[in-house]
Structure 1
Amino acid sequence: MTIQYTSFAYTESYCRAVDVVARERQYLGATEGFPLDASFSFAKTIIENNLAQYFAIDNNQVVGWCDIIPKSYEGLGHVGVLGMGVISEYRGKGLGTLLLQKTIEHARNINHLEKVELDVFESNSSAIARYRKFGFEVEGKRENGRKLDDVYDNILLMRKFI
């Protein structure tokens, strides 16, 4: 198992990993992955701009990812948005912690980033605990922010100054 910076060589595998986690309908806002061409475009943006994205690789396949992408609107570029996921068979092995640590270290080197924000479903207690361990704090809550399969979940808005 290795943690490494994003590369085009892993874009298809990353695309599959996002789809697998999204189809669990529990952890990501999306319920299915993104098209491959959109994933290549995303990778191109990350690589060309030296943005923070790391993969957990096992047997030459992406089994987890973490990224911090700066907001693009004028006046918001000092804020990065964190996204991450780990395929179910690899959870509970410390990969999320390793990915988050490496990605935050990289984001600190992007001079204009001062703050990292994320949205997390309140039912995802293990992710919330990991974020708190890294110094993230809740700064708001969207009550019943998600309704999926007739079940509501609150969305916690968390942040960390870096």
Structure 2
Amino acid sequence: MTGALGTRLAIEPLAARHFSALRPVLDEIAREKRYLAFTRAPPRSDVLAFYRNIVACGQVHFVALLDGRVCGWCDVLPTHGEARAHVGTLGIGLVGRARHLGIGGLLMRRAIDAAWAAGMTRIELTVRIDNLAAMNLYQRMGFKTEGLCARAFRVDGRYFDTFSMALLR
């Protein structure tokens, strides 16, 4: 798909060919200290094992490529426990150059559709309350705010509240 400014966008299921390019993207977003629960990517071996497991288990994880370069991901990973087997947790990240281009919504749509097809009936996420762009995207995608989690994140000694949001099928 070709978008504005002549960019080409591809959204693909996670595959081994994405692994080496995806970790630096994860690290770049984590180091912004605004979006993820960690402030740097885990060690390379841990990240590769995590990605390999996702592929081996057929879990929901899509990668966005902008002009052939990995620029983000969206996954809906299963929660633990038999009583929550119908629930997935959505995670998404986009590097700065890929934000505000509609890529997040496209990634989420693919991941949500795949999660429903996999039998999930509830998708949860957590978002910092100061991340207005993400909250607006999640609301446009149908997510509803279910609660406030006070002081849920602490970055560089500063606390941030989060919202718990969910999408039901």
Q: Give yes or no for TM over 0.5.
A: yes
- 1:51 maps to which of 59, 73, 77: 59
Gaps of 5+ in 1: none
Q: Determine the structure 2 residue equivalent to 1:108.
A: 116
Greater Cα offset, 36-45 or 114-123: 36-45
Q: Determine the structure 2 residue equivalent to 1:91.
A: 99
Q: Determine the structure 1 residue equivalent to 2:128.
A: 121
TM-score by length of 1: 0.94
Once the two structures are TM-superposed, the CA of residue 59 in structure 1 deviates from its matched residue by 4.1
Q: Which amino acid aligns with 1:2?
A: A
Q: Determine the structure 2 residue equivalent to 1:29.
A: 37
Q: Determine the structure 2 residue equivalent to 1:141.
A: 148
Once the two structures are TM-superposed, the CA of residue 72 in structure 1 deviates from its matched residue by 2.3
Once the two structures are TM-superposed, the CA of residue 153 in structure 1 deviates from its matched residue by 1.4
Gaps of 5+ in 2: 1-8
- 1:41 maps to which of 29, 44, 49: 49
- 1:131 maps to which of 131, 138, 150: 138
Residue-pair matches, total: 161
- Alignment of 1:15 with 2:27, yes or no, is no
Greater Cα offset, 138-147 or 128-137: 138-147
CA distance in 1, matches of 2:155, 2:43: 22
CA distance in 1, matches of 2:20, 2:81: 29
CA distance in 2, matches of 1:45, 1:75: 22
CA distance in 2, matches of 1:139, 1:43: 30
Ranges of 4+ aligned residues in structure 1 off by more than 4 Å: none
Q: Determine the structure 2 residue equivalent to 1:4.
A: 12
CA distance in 1, matches of 2:142, 2:125: 13
- 2:163 maps to which of 151, 156, 159: 156
- Alignment of 1:81 with 2:93, yes or no, is no
Q: Which amino acid aligns with 1:117?
A: E
Alpha carbons 1:146, 1:155 under 8 Å: kept: yes
Q: CA RMSD in A?
A: 1.2
Q: Which amino acid aligns with 2:54?
A: I
Alpha carbons 1:120, 1:155 under 8 Å: kept: yes
**Residues 7-48 of structure 1 deviation map (CA, whole Å, 9 limit, x = unaligned):** 011111111100000000111110001222222222222222
TM-score by length of 2: 0.90
Greater Cα offset, 54-63 or 119-128: 54-63
Percent identity of the aligned residues? Answer: 28
